[in-house]
Amino acid sequence: MAYVDDLLFLGEEQIVNKLFKEIQQHFLLRPAGALSPGNSVAFLGRNITNRGDHYESSLSILSDDYTTTLPTETNLQDSKPAPAPGTSALKTATADHEQALSAEEHAQYRRAVGKPQWMTYTRPNISYATKELARALQQPTTADQQKMKHLLRYIKGTKHYKQNSRPRAKIPAKAIPDLNVFVDSAWAGCPATTRRSATGFIITLLGTTINYGSRTQATIALSSAEAELYAINTGAEEALHIRSLLMELLNINKINIKIHTDSSKWQKHGHKN
């Protein structure tokens, strides 16, 4: 992990030390410590714990701020947790009663949506809901406010969730590793206004998630197959970038990219892998 001049290396001690020394030949670096099994470290607002066979990652400010102040600011401290980050039932329940928020409610909405945006770095399960809420930041309505409160109720009930990094195996010598890309789309997910579809993707290496995201497609898809094609394209773009980075870091000449989609149209024509 890297952010400006803060670096965190995860891997075997011998390999990490070798890489660290190579970087020191070009930049002035000072080691701040090692993350041995059973210990935790705070890095860029995250708590990272070494469990021996895997790493746990969560936001270090969650317990004191996000999952405590957010429900309080929105009067949800006594509400029941929601079982999912969003629900399609809210679309029909609030569509006929949409009103613009007041200036005070608008400011509250922006604060309430901004914090989950930071949480998505360790919580892929709220990426889509947060992305949809962020689209309404300029002019949120009472319908958007209800969706925001639903997401906060879900976060309140899942504050103990953590992201685990647990590779199934090491990359064998001279073997060609696989980047597995799982993509899906929601065709015309915004039927009331833009008619744009949404793309979701997850990229894994050795069974460990290394990248994920949820995005509104830039082009209006005229069919579900077209929306799926745009999602495949997004997943391929992300995988090509990661492949280039890994080939340079691992000093290997080839990495396979396998793209998986649940669309029978593309699987039938051999576009699954």
As a whole number, mean pLDDT of residues 135-139 equals 91
Q: What is the CATH number of the domain that holds 255?
A: 3.10.20.370
196 in the same domain as 131: no
Tell me the backbone φ, ψ of residue 149, rounded to 5 degrees: -65, -35
With a cut of 80, say whether residue 90 has pLDDT above it. Answer: no
- Residue 37 in domain: no
pLDDT band (50, 70, 90) for residue 270 = very low
The predicted structure's pLDDT at residue 133: 92
As a whole number of angstroms, the distance between CA 178 and CA 252 comes to: 12
> What is the residue range of 127's domain?
62-157
Residue 47 lies in a domain: no
Of 67 and 255, the one with more pLDDT: 255
Q: Does 29 fall in a domain?
A: no
Per the domain annotation, does 177 fall within a domain?
A: yes
74, 111 Cβ separation under 8 angstroms: no
Predicted pLDDT at 140:
92
198 and 231 assigned to the same domain = yes
Reported pTM: 0.78
Give the H or E element holding residue 104: helix 103-119
pLDDT of residue 243: 94
Q: What is the DSSP string of 137-205?
A: SSS-BHHHHHHHHHHHHHHHHTTT--EEE--SS---TT---EEEEEEEEETTS-TTTT---EEEEEEEE
pLDDT surpasses 90 at 231: yes
Mean pLDDT of 40-66: 74
**Picking from 52-61, 84-93, 148-157, which range would have the lowest pLDDT averaged per residue?**
84-93
Evaluate if residue 271 carries a pLDDT over 80.
Answer: no
Please tell me whether residues 106 and 147 are part of one structural domain.
Answer: yes
pLDDT of residue 95: 55
Report CA dihedral (147, 150, 155, 157) to the nearest 10 degrees: -170
pLDDT bracket for residue 86 (50, 70, 90): confident
| Last residue in a domain, options 157, 190, 220 | 157
Q: What is the mean pLDDT of the chain?
A: 83
Residues 189 and 225 reside in one and the same domain: yes
* pLDDT tens for each residue of 19-33: 888 888 888 888 877
User: Are residues 138 and 199 part of one domain?
Assistant: no
The confidence score (pLDDT) of residue 198 equals 92
DSSP β-bridge partners for residue 257: 179
Q: What pLDDT shows up at residue 215? A: 93
In contact, 143 and 90? CB cutoff 8 Å: yes
What the block records as the tokens of 23 is 């970087």
Residues 141 and 226 in one domain: no
Pairing mode of beta strands 256-261, 178-186: parallel
Interatomic CA distance for residues 231 and 209, integer angstroms: 18
Q: Is 262 helix (H, G, I), strand (E, B) or coil?
A: coil
What separation, in Å, do the N-terminal and C-terminal C-alpha atoms of the chain show?
Answer: 29
| Total structural domains within the chain | 2
Q: What is the pLDDT of residues 163-211, one digit of tens each?
A: 888 776 666 667 788 999 999 999 987 766 788 999 999 999 988 898 9
209 and 259 both lie in a single domain: yes
